Structure 1
Amino acid sequence: MGRLVYAANTSLDGYLEDESGAFDWSVPDEEVHTFWNEHEQRIGTSLYGRRMYETMRVWEDDDWLRGEPAVVRDYARIWRAADKVVHSTTLTEVSTARTTLARTFDPDAVRRFKETSTADLSVGGATLGAEAFRHGLVDECVLVVHPAVVGGGKPALPRGVRLDLDLLQERRFASGAVLLRHAVRNTAR
């Protein structure tokens, strides 16, 4: 059975991006990128909302990867090897390999998918992640907290959802970023 993992880079004040939509403050250095590569290797399928998919699909293109460090090229290979499900009511098609389009987020379908999966699944994006948390689907929450305060923007975690968590791992990176990995002990209320 696969676990559903919510993973994100976040500012110290809890945002995925600032009020203008920028997330340049969370660009990973080699050490953090290596962590994300190792994390993503366990993922068999990634669930995305439209905006997160549009951000991530850059990894399908080789043109910009020429001259990038090995750790970045490795991430592209890992991302391409995973299956992707994009939840969107506005997209008419997807442009990346190993990707399917779902019109709605069906919590029961995600539960069945977890039960039959031999690898972990990830959920990416604030909106889709919030839905997964609200339906009690998230088994693990992985946050890399970056040493930046952005003052507002898109929250990394859903508002109005109570979760009790158990700390599984913490790690400090040389950049000042901190990994916090928690198991979700209970379902959303």
Structure 2
Amino acid sequence: MRKIIAALNLTIDGFCDHTAGIPDAEMHQHYTDLLNQAHVILYGRTTFELMQFWQAYIEKPSGEKAMDEFAKAIDTIHKIVFSTTLKNVDWESASLANQPIEQVVSELKQQSGGPILIGSRSLIVQLTNLNLIDEYQLCIHPVVIGTGLPLFDKIQERTVFKLLKAKPFASGAVIHYYKQL
């Protein structure tokens, strides 16, 4: 069975914002490695549209090795997008989900291959409520933004986690690896 990993960036005050973090070469390398090990990443519409930013680096590399390698990794990995408003996706390695998330995840989990990444807040909440996530990799950035979307705002019941390990970065960000008990 394949492992389902929820990977997301958060601020110290607990808000999800892919643009509020402190990305550097070390952070980009970490996520490049994660993407290269995985088989597929699942996105909601909003995060998918944010990640399309990286397509420009495929067409015109930045010259910064870590960013360009991350762009290649995000471009290459298969992306499944869950959306009720998108009718198509304009990214060769992406497709729209045509079944409910629990069905897609259950089918993917039975296949062979690398981990299944969950990269959107809304999908993490849905899969947490279904107890389908094997590992959470929550990267806490040393930034306070004061407002935004909290990660676990729609959890149906009290959920307890066990810390597996932590990985600090020179920037002050720390990835906390958890499993749901």
| 2:101 matches 1:106 | yes
| 2:94 matches 1:77 | no
| 2:174 matches 1:171 | no
* Closer, same or farther: CA 62–32 of 1 in aligned 2, 3 Å: closer
| 2:132 matches 1:132 | no
In structure 2, stretches of 5+ residues that fail to align are none
Counterpart residue identity of residue 176, structure 1: G
Identity fraction in percent: 28
* Closer, same or farther: CA 88–66 of 1 in aligned 2, 3 Å: same
Residue 173 of structure 1 and its aligned partner are, at CA, apart by: 1.3
Q: CA RMSD, aligned part only?
A: 1.9
* Closer, same or farther: CA 68–24 of 1 in aligned 2, 3 Å: farther
- Please tell me whether the aligned partners of residues 141 and 174 of structure 2 are also in contact (alpha carbons under 8 angstroms): yes
Residue 73 of structure 1 and its aligned partner are, at CA, apart by: 0.6
Residue 163 of structure 1 and its aligned partner are, at CA, apart by: 2.5
- Please tell me whether the aligned partners of residues 44 and 83 of structure 2 are also in contact (alpha carbons under 8 angstroms): yes
In structure 1, stretches of 5+ residues that fail to align are 18-22
| Equivalence map 1:37-186=2 (5 Å) | 37-62=32-57, 65-103=60-98, 105-160=100-155, 161-185=157-181
Residue 166 of structure 1 and its aligned partner are, at CA, apart by: 2.2
Q: Where does residue 12 of structure 2 map in the other structure? A: 12
- Please tell me whether the aligned partners of residues 126 and 158 of structure 1 are also in contact (alpha carbons under 8 angstroms): no
Counterpart residue identity of residue 129, structure 2: R
- Please tell me whether the aligned partners of residues 86 and 102 of structure 1 are also in contact (alpha carbons under 8 angstroms): yes
How many residue pairs match? The answer is 180
SS at match of 1:107: helix
Separation (CA, whole Å) in 1 of partners of 2:153 and 2:75: 28
| TM-score where L is the length of structure 2 | 0.90
Separation (CA, whole Å) in 1 of partners of 2:112 and 2:22: 31
Separation (CA, whole Å) in 1 of partners of 2:78 and 2:154: 29
Counterpart residue identity of residue 57, structure 1: Q
SS at match of 1:145: strand
SS at match of 1:91: coil
Separation (CA, whole Å) in 2 of partners of 1:101 and 1:33: 26
| TM-score where L is the length of structure 1 | 0.86
- Please tell me whether the aligned partners of residues 13 and 144 of structure 2 are also in contact (alpha carbons under 8 angstroms): yes
What whole-Å deviation, never above 9, does each CA across 1:150-188 have from its counterpart, x for those lacking one?
A: 222111234434322222221221111111111223xxx
| 2:26 matches 1:31 | yes
Separation (CA, whole Å) in 2 of partners of 1:65 and 1:184: 41
SS at match of 1:25: coil
Separation (CA, whole Å) in 2 of partners of 1:101 and 1:3: 21
What whole-Å deviation, never above 9, does each CA across 1:39-65 have from its counterpart, x for those lacking one?
A: 222211011100011011222234674
Separation (CA, whole Å) in 2 of partners of 1:77 and 1:118: 19
* Closer, same or farther: CA 135–61 of 1 in aligned 2, 3 Å: same
